[in-house]
Amino acid sequence: MGKTATVDLLDDENSATFTMATVGDDRPFFTEYSYRVAGFVDTWSPWQTQNLITLTNLPGGEYSIQIRSRSGSFGTRQPAETTLLFRVSLPFWKAPNFYQKALLAFLALGVLIGLMGVDWYLKQGRIRKQQQAIQDRERQVQFLQVQTIQAQMNPHFIFNVLGTIQHLIVAHDTEQAAANLLKLSHLMRNYLEASMLSNEEHGSLFAHEVPLAREIELLTMYIEFEQLQYEGRFTHEIVVEGKLSTESYQVPPLILQPYVENAIKHGLLYAEQTGHLCIRFATIDEEVLICTIEDNGVGRQRAREIQQLSLKKYRSRGTELTNRRVELLNQMGYAISIETADRPTGGTLVTIHIGYQPDSSL
């Protein structure tokens, strides 16, 4: 037997038969053989007189087969050994147990696809629920906006304005009466327009924001009508600070008016002296809008005392509805906060921050 040899099996072949023989003039009549294949049959086979080794169903790869032989008395001589290296080259579909493994892989893939399908279905269900929740909140906000409009344009306010205009007509000040009547119709139309959500198919509350300039215009008209009713009772000013652009800055409509109404009805009209209303607008980093509504009226505590003693109690539902609306807006991506405080010198200060949550995408 030689010491080392290397052979390659034919392509697509994974079975081999090896013939063993001893060489030399003095070879014995009987010889026994034993073998082992590294990585395939790691233990030595029993001694055999048959000189054939048959290996079947071999996976692709390289193998090392060790063969040993003994002759003579079979126990008195050291066995001779040799090594044979051979290589099996197979396409993957002819590998042993390929179809079983392929079936298992197919089943595993099917399970994976099924799990992915279930996960996708569950995600779609969550997305539908989120969209439905958003739509429900939008309907609630729309309902609250309409209610807010109804509270702001209450019959008492309209009756007083029309009474004042009638007084101007009787006094033959028809020019001013006509101007105020036109202004009233403009105010009512803008309030009604602001109460409706966007008509876009995929519109959102963000898409229905109005320029700050328009909100200031509506506030100005409302304040002027109150001054027309309560002539000489209070003055007002609206200040836009810094480089704030009222035309490009957008805000949700009708957030500020109820607090202006409270300042007038519960503060300034109860004061003995001529009151003053100051509304200021500023921004923080051009992102968060800050609006302050400041009056020098009687303050909240005194206003409550006067209301309790009054036979004709006035209650503004605008702030209550606005607070509920702000809660819903904040759930949808806004970051709106409202703080009310008493001024040290008398009166009330309301500070309103209007911004957006960092991850808002509506």
The mean pLDDT of 87-103, rounded to a whole number, is 68
Domain contains 129: no
Domain contains 300: yes
- Cβ–Cβ contacts within 10 Å for residue 289, how many? 20
Q: Point out the least confidently predicted range of 74-78, 86-90, 127-131.
A: 74-78
Q: 338 and 282, same structural domain?
A: yes
Instruction: Write the CATH number for 13.
Output: 2.60.40.10
Domain contains 152: yes
Q: What is the mean pLDDT of the chain?
A: 78
pLDDT by residue (tens digit) across 233-270?
A: 999 999 998 889 999 888 888 789 889 989 998 899 98
Cα–Cα distance list, 304 to 144, 266, 299, 340 (Å): 26, 8, 9, 15
Domain contains 77: yes
Higher pLDDT among residues 41 and 227, named by residue: 227
Q: 320 and 240, same structural domain?
A: yes
Type of residue at 115: L
Q: How many Cα neighbours within 13 Å face the side chain of 215?
A: 27
Domain contains 179: yes
Of 38, 72, 94, the residue that ends a domain is 94
In sign, the C-alpha dihedral spanning 226, 228, 234, 235 is positive
What is the pTM for the complete model shown?
0.57
Cα separation, 362 vs 355, whole angstroms: 14
Q: 145 and 80, same structural domain?
A: no
Of 94, 120, 155, the residue that ends a domain is 94
Q: 86 and 208, same structural domain?
A: no
Beta bridge partners of 295: 277, 348
Bridge pairing between strands 275-284 and 234-240:
parallel
What is the number of domains present in the chain? 2
Q: 142 and 53, same structural domain?
A: no
pLDDT at 96 over 70: no
Long-range contacts of the stretch 275-280 (C-beta < 8 A, 24+): 275/233, 275/234, 275/235, 276/234, 276/235, 276/236, 276/237, 277/223, 277/234, 277/235, 277/236, 277/237, 278/236, 278/237, 278/239, 279/219, 279/236, 279/237, 279/238, 279/239, 280/238, 280/239, 280/240, 280/241
Q: 161 and 22, same structural domain?
A: no
Q: 187 and 47, same structural domain?
A: no
Of 70, 94, 118, the residue that ends a domain is 94
Q: Point out the least confidently predicted range of 53-62, 104-113, 186-195, 263-272.
A: 186-195
Range 113-123 burial, b when 16+ CB lie within 10 A, else e: eeeeeeeeeee
Range 353-362 burial, b when 16+ CB lie within 10 A, else e: ebbeeeeeee
Domain contains 209: yes
Q: 89 and 145, same structural domain?
A: no
Q: 313 and 209, same structural domain?
A: yes
Q: 86 and 153, same structural domain?
A: no
Range 79-107 burial, b when 16+ CB lie within 10 A, else e: eeebebebebebeeeebeeeeeeeeeeee
Could you tell me if 205 and 329 are in contact, meaning their C-beta atoms sit under 8 angstroms apart? Answer: yes
Q: 165 and 289, same structural domain?
A: yes
Domain contains 64: yes
Cα–Cα distance list, 229 to 81, 188, 200, 232, 296 (Å): 121, 17, 39, 9, 19
Instruction: Write the CATH number for 291.
Output: 3.30.565.10
Could you tell me if 292 and 349 are in contact, meaning their C-beta atoms sit under 8 angstroms apart? Answer: yes
pLDDT at 2: 45
Cα separation, 295 vs 343, whole angstroms: 9
Q: Give the residue numbers spanning the domain of 34.
A: 4-94
Q: 253 and 153, same structural domain?
A: yes
Domain contains 106: no
Could you tell me if 301 and 346 are in contact, meaning their C-beta atoms sit under 8 angstroms apart? Answer: no
Higher pLDDT among residues 56 and 157, named by residue: 56
Q: Is 340 helix (H, G, I), strand (E, B) or coil?
A: strand
